[in-house]
Amino acid sequence: MPRLPHAYSSPRSSTFLLPITFLAVVIWALLIAEIIISKNFPKDNPREQGGWGVHVLPSYWAFDDTGLAVAMLFIAAYALMAETIHLAVRHTMIAFGKPVHPVTTLVLAIFLCLAWLTQGIINTLFFWIHQLDAPDEDNNGPTDELAYTNCALSLVVALVYFGMIGFAAREVHAWRKAKKVAPAKQKAGLEGGGDEFVQ
Protein backbone atom coordinates (compact mmCIF):
# COMPACT_ATOMS: atom_id res chain seq x y z
CA MET A 1 0.00 0.00 0.00
CA PRO A 2 1.59 3.34 -1.02
CA ARG A 3 2.42 5.74 1.78
CA LEU A 4 0.87 9.17 1.99
CA PRO A 5 3.03 12.10 0.91
CA HIS A 6 5.09 13.42 3.81
CA ALA A 7 3.23 16.74 3.82
CA TYR A 8 -0.05 14.91 4.46
CA SER A 9 1.24 12.49 7.08
CA SER A 10 3.27 14.98 9.11
CA PRO A 11 1.92 16.88 10.89
CA ARG A 12 -0.85 14.38 11.49
CA SER A 13 -3.61 17.00 11.44
CA SER A 14 -3.02 17.49 7.69
CA THR A 15 -4.18 13.90 7.10
CA PHE A 16 -7.73 15.06 7.85
CA LEU A 17 -7.67 17.17 4.66
CA LEU A 18 -8.12 14.02 2.56
CA PRO A 19 -11.58 12.96 3.88
CA ILE A 20 -12.63 16.63 4.07
CA THR A 21 -11.76 17.09 0.39
CA PHE A 22 -13.77 13.99 -0.55
CA LEU A 23 -16.80 15.15 1.44
CA ALA A 24 -16.60 18.66 -0.04
CA VAL A 25 -16.66 17.23 -3.57
CA VAL A 26 -19.71 15.09 -2.71
CA ILE A 27 -21.55 18.06 -1.17
CA TRP A 28 -20.79 20.18 -4.25
CA ALA A 29 -22.26 17.41 -6.40
CA LEU A 30 -25.42 17.33 -4.27
CA LEU A 31 -25.81 21.11 -4.43
CA ILE A 32 -25.36 21.20 -8.21
CA ALA A 33 -27.81 18.32 -8.63
CA GLU A 34 -30.38 20.16 -6.49
CA ILE A 35 -30.03 23.33 -8.57
CA ILE A 36 -30.34 21.41 -11.85
CA ILE A 37 -33.38 19.45 -10.68
CA SER A 38 -35.08 22.58 -9.32
CA LYS A 39 -34.73 24.26 -12.73
CA ASN A 40 -37.44 21.91 -14.01
CA PHE A 41 -39.95 22.99 -11.35
CA PRO A 42 -42.69 25.24 -12.78
CA LYS A 43 -42.73 28.70 -11.23
CA ASP A 44 -46.41 28.40 -10.40
CA ASN A 45 -45.76 25.33 -8.25
CA PRO A 46 -47.25 26.09 -4.80
CA ARG A 47 -44.28 24.42 -3.18
CA GLU A 48 -42.01 27.11 -4.54
CA GLN A 49 -44.17 30.05 -3.53
CA GLY A 50 -43.24 29.49 0.11
CA GLY A 51 -39.63 30.37 -0.55
CA TRP A 52 -37.69 27.49 0.82
CA GLY A 53 -40.17 24.82 -0.25
CA VAL A 54 -40.34 21.44 1.44
CA HIS A 55 -36.68 20.70 0.81
CA VAL A 56 -33.96 22.56 2.71
CA LEU A 57 -32.27 24.13 -0.29
CA PRO A 58 -34.47 26.53 -2.27
CA SER A 59 -35.41 26.34 -5.91
CA TYR A 60 -33.12 29.16 -7.01
CA TRP A 61 -34.72 29.39 -10.45
CA ALA A 62 -38.11 30.26 -8.93
CA PHE A 63 -37.19 33.83 -8.04
CA ASP A 64 -37.34 36.86 -10.31
CA ASP A 65 -34.99 38.64 -7.90
CA THR A 66 -31.49 37.35 -8.63
CA GLY A 67 -30.16 38.90 -5.44
CA LEU A 68 -32.57 36.83 -3.34
CA ALA A 69 -31.55 33.64 -5.11
CA VAL A 70 -27.86 34.41 -4.55
CA ALA A 71 -28.51 35.21 -0.88
CA MET A 72 -30.31 31.91 -0.38
CA LEU A 73 -27.50 30.07 -2.14
CA PHE A 74 -25.01 31.71 0.23
CA ILE A 75 -27.07 30.70 3.28
CA ALA A 76 -27.24 27.13 2.04
CA ALA A 77 -23.56 26.80 1.13
CA TYR A 78 -21.40 29.45 2.84
CA ALA A 79 -19.31 26.81 4.62
CA LEU A 80 -18.82 24.90 1.38
CA MET A 81 -17.61 28.06 -0.38
CA ALA A 82 -15.15 28.88 2.41
CA GLU A 83 -13.98 25.27 2.43
CA THR A 84 -13.32 25.30 -1.31
CA ILE A 85 -10.98 28.28 -0.94
CA HIS A 86 -9.29 26.73 2.10
CA LEU A 87 -8.69 23.38 0.40
CA ALA A 88 -7.36 25.01 -2.77
CA VAL A 89 -4.80 26.99 -0.75
CA ARG A 90 -3.81 24.11 1.52
CA HIS A 91 -3.36 21.57 -1.28
CA THR A 92 -1.32 24.10 -3.26
CA MET A 93 0.94 24.69 -0.26
CA ILE A 94 1.33 20.95 0.25
CA ALA A 95 2.16 20.45 -3.44
CA PHE A 96 4.95 23.03 -3.17
CA GLY A 97 6.17 21.71 0.19
CA LYS A 98 5.20 24.84 2.11
CA PRO A 99 4.54 24.07 5.80
CA VAL A 100 1.56 25.54 7.65
CA HIS A 101 2.11 26.87 11.15
CA PRO A 102 0.30 24.71 13.77
CA VAL A 103 -1.44 27.77 15.23
CA THR A 104 -2.80 28.64 11.77
CA THR A 105 -4.00 25.06 11.35
CA LEU A 106 -5.77 25.15 14.72
CA VAL A 107 -7.48 28.50 14.10
CA LEU A 108 -8.69 27.48 10.64
CA ALA A 109 -9.91 24.12 11.94
CA ILE A 110 -11.97 25.80 14.68
CA PHE A 111 -13.43 28.37 12.27
CA LEU A 112 -14.37 25.81 9.61
CA CYS A 113 -15.72 23.34 12.18
CA LEU A 114 -18.11 26.03 13.43
CA ALA A 115 -19.00 27.04 9.86
CA TRP A 116 -19.94 23.47 8.86
CA LEU A 117 -21.77 22.89 12.14
CA THR A 118 -23.88 26.04 11.81
CA GLN A 119 -24.58 25.35 8.12
CA GLY A 120 -25.86 21.86 8.89
CA ILE A 121 -27.97 23.06 11.83
CA ILE A 122 -29.42 26.12 10.04
CA ASN A 123 -30.44 24.14 6.96
CA THR A 124 -31.96 21.41 9.13
CA LEU A 125 -33.92 23.99 11.13
CA PHE A 126 -35.30 25.53 7.93
CA PHE A 127 -36.50 22.09 6.92
CA TRP A 128 -38.13 21.34 10.27
CA ILE A 129 -39.76 24.78 10.51
CA HIS A 130 -41.38 24.27 7.12
CA GLN A 131 -42.54 20.82 8.17
CA LEU A 132 -44.26 22.36 11.20
CA ASP A 133 -45.83 25.15 9.12
CA ALA A 134 -47.13 22.77 6.45
CA PRO A 135 -47.62 19.33 8.05
CA ASP A 136 -50.15 18.21 5.41
CA GLU A 137 -47.96 19.11 2.45
CA ASP A 138 -46.39 16.46 0.25
CA ASN A 139 -43.01 15.85 1.86
CA ASN A 140 -41.50 13.62 -0.81
CA GLY A 141 -40.13 16.25 -3.19
CA PRO A 142 -37.42 15.29 -5.69
CA THR A 143 -34.76 17.19 -3.76
CA ASP A 144 -35.71 16.14 -0.23
CA GLU A 145 -33.22 13.27 -0.18
CA LEU A 146 -30.49 15.56 -1.50
CA ALA A 147 -31.28 18.07 1.23
CA TYR A 148 -31.21 15.47 4.00
CA THR A 149 -27.89 14.11 2.71
CA ASN A 150 -26.43 17.61 2.40
CA CYS A 151 -27.28 18.42 6.02
CA ALA A 152 -25.94 15.08 7.27
CA LEU A 153 -22.65 15.43 5.38
CA SER A 154 -22.22 19.00 6.65
CA LEU A 155 -22.35 17.65 10.19
CA VAL A 156 -19.95 14.83 9.26
CA VAL A 157 -17.43 17.39 7.99
CA ALA A 158 -17.80 19.29 11.28
CA LEU A 159 -17.09 16.04 13.13
CA VAL A 160 -13.96 15.42 11.04
CA TYR A 161 -12.79 18.94 11.84
CA PHE A 162 -13.40 18.25 15.52
CA GLY A 163 -10.86 15.43 15.28
CA MET A 164 -8.50 17.71 13.37
CA ILE A 165 -8.78 20.29 16.15
CA GLY A 166 -7.58 17.70 18.66
CA PHE A 167 -4.47 16.83 16.66
CA ALA A 168 -3.79 20.50 15.83
CA ALA A 169 -4.03 21.40 19.52
CA ARG A 170 -1.43 18.73 20.32
CA GLU A 171 0.85 20.13 17.63
CA VAL A 172 0.48 23.65 19.03
CA HIS A 173 1.34 22.32 22.49
CA ALA A 174 4.43 20.56 21.11
CA TRP A 175 5.45 23.71 19.24
CA ARG A 176 5.11 25.88 22.35
CA LYS A 177 7.06 23.35 24.40
CA ALA A 178 9.84 23.22 21.81
CA LYS A 179 9.88 27.01 21.67
CA LYS A 180 10.56 27.14 25.41
CA VAL A 181 13.11 24.33 25.43
CA ALA A 182 15.19 25.54 22.46
CA PRO A 183 16.57 28.73 24.13
CA ALA A 184 17.52 26.73 27.23
CA LYS A 185 19.40 24.17 25.12
CA GLN A 186 21.11 26.93 23.18
CA LYS A 187 22.17 28.68 26.38
CA ALA A 188 23.48 25.42 27.83
CA GLY A 189 25.41 24.76 24.63
CA LEU A 190 27.03 28.18 24.66
CA GLU A 191 28.04 27.83 28.30
CA GLY A 192 29.55 24.43 27.58
CA GLY A 193 31.64 25.65 24.68
CA GLY A 194 29.03 24.88 22.03
CA ASP A 195 29.46 21.09 22.04
CA GLU A 196 26.07 20.38 23.60
CA PHE A 197 23.97 22.47 21.23
CA VAL A 198 22.91 21.02 17.91
CA GLN A 199 20.83 23.11 15.50
CB 54 within 8 A of CB 144: yes
Q: How does the average pLDDT of the chain come out, rounded?
A: 74
User: Mean pLDDT over residues 170-180, rounded?
Assistant: 82
Confidence check: pLDDT of 20 > 90: yes
For the chain, the three-class secondary structure string (H helix, E strand, C coil) is CCCCCHHHHCCHHHHHHHHHHHHHHHHHHHHHHHHHHHCCCCCCCHHHHCCCCCCCCCCHHHCCCHHHHHHHHHHHHHHHHHHHHHHHHHHHHHHCCCCCCHHHHHHHHHHHHHHHHHHHHHHHHHHHHHHHHCCCCCCCCCCHHHHHHHHHHHHHHHHHHHHHHHHHHHHHHHHHHHHHHHHHHHHHHHHCCCCCCCC
Confidence check: pLDDT of 130 > 70: no
Instruction: Give the Cα separation of 68 and 199 in Å (integer).
Output: 58
Confidence check: pLDDT of 172 > 90: no
Contacts of 163 (CB under 8 A, 6+ apart): 16
Query: What pLDDT is attached to residue 8?
Result: 47
* pTM for this model (two decimals): 0.74
* Top-confidence residue, 78 or 3: 78
Instruction: Give the Cα separation of 24 and 79 in Å (integer).
Output: 10
What residues does each domain of the chain span? 11-191
CB 90 within 8 A of CB 100: yes
Confidence check: pLDDT of 50 > 50: no
Instruction: Give the Cα separation of 34 and 66 in Å (integer).
Output: 17
Going by C-alpha positions, the residue among 86, 99, 107, 111 that lies closest to residue 8 is: 99
Going by C-alpha positions, the residue among 50, 33, 1, 24 that lies closest to residue 156 is: 24
Query: What pLDDT is attached to residue 35?
Result: 76
pLDDT band, very low/low/confident/very high, at 22 (cuts 50, 70, 90): very high
Confidence check: pLDDT of 136 > 70: no
pLDDT digits (tens, 9 = 90+) for 65-74: 566 667 777 8
Q: What are phi and psi of 55, to 5 degrees?
A: -75, 160
